[in-house]
Amino acid sequence: MNVESIRQYCLAFPRATENLQWGDDLCFKIGGKIFTIVGLDNPRLCFKCTPEMFAELIEREDIRPAPYVGRYKWVMLDRLDALGSAELQELIRQSYEMVAAKAPKSKRATGNKKVKTKSKTKAKVKAKASPSRRGKR
């Protein structure tokens, strides 16, 4: 897979967004949480995986614990072709699902579900807190 095919695959997930961060890193997020990172200048890839898969992957050539987040079971592929396309897509999908499961519920909402906004909640609280003028005469 190349950068563009990874980008298209990641953006195909529901509510997935992309954001350029830390210079040349293209971050794919769900609910504001990163699930995959692709380096643009130096093509490399990072994603979250299960503890079992983490242990297996870091034994392979050109795959290592990701800097700073390896302790959270993130791996870094030093080359985009370190894994086959099908396996890489499956691992990215799993990363998306793990991160989406922990994203705030308000940011995971899909379909016709209504999400309370802060402005409505604040207005309701303010209305309940202020005493009515009728009873104060």
What's the pLDDT score for residue 107?
Answer: 52
Residue 48 CB neighbours (<10 A): 25
What's the pLDDT score for residue 23?
Answer: 81
Q: What is the pLDDT of residues 41-74, one digit of tens each?
A: 888 999 999 999 999 998 898 999 988 787 788 9
| Burial of 15: CB neighbours in 10 Å, binned 0-12, 13-18, 19+ | middle
Write down all domains in the chain, each with its CATH number in brackets: 3-131 (3.90.1150.30)
In percent, the amount of the chain with pLDDT more than 70 equals: 76
The pTM for the full model equals 0.72
